[in-house]
A and B are shown apart, each in its own frame.
Chain A
Amino acid sequence: MTYSTAEIWLIIVLLGAGTYLIRFSFLGIIGDRPMPQIILRMLRYTPVAVLPAMVAPLVVWPAATAGAPDPVRMIAALAALLVGVWKKQVLWAIGAGVVTLYAGLFLTGQF
Chain B
Amino acid sequence: MSSATVKSAYAAGIRDGLPFIFVAAPFSLLFGVVATEAGLTLAQAMGFSIVVIAGAAQFAALQLMVENASIALVLLAALAVNLRMAMYSAALVPYIGSAPMWQRALISYVNFDQSYIASAARYEARPQMRVAERVWFFLGVSTPLVPLWMSMTAVGALVGSAIPPEYALDFALPITFLAMIGPMLRTLAHVAAALTSMVVGLVLVGLPSGTGLLIAAACAMVTGVLVELWQERRA
Contacts and interface: CB of A to CB of B under 8 A. Distances in A.
Contacts of A20: 108-109
A84 B97 contact: no
B68 A2 contact: yes
**Chain B contact residues: over half helix, strand or loop, or mixed?**
helix
Interface residues of A, number: 78
B197 A53 contact: yes
Nearest to A30: B90
B200 interface: yes
A22 B213 CA distance: 21
Interface in A14-65: 14-16, 18-20, 22-28, 30-32, 35, 38, 40-64
A105 to B, nearest CB: 6
Given A11-B71, A22-B85, A28-B108, A84 B180 contact: yes
Indicate the member of B63, B172, B202 with the most A CB atoms within 10 Å: B202
Contact of A46 (B40, B107, B219, B221): B221
A17 B74 CA distance: 14
**Chain A contact residues: over half helix, strand or loop, or mixed?**
helix
Contact of B194 (A9, A28, A48, A82): A48
Interface of B: 22-23, 26-27, 30, 38-40, 44, 47-48, 51-54, 56-57, 60-61, 63-66, 68, 71, 74-75, 77-90, 92-94, 96-97, 101, 104-105, 107-109, 111, 165-168, 170-185, 189-190, 193-198, 200-202, 205, 212-213, 216-222, 224-225, 228
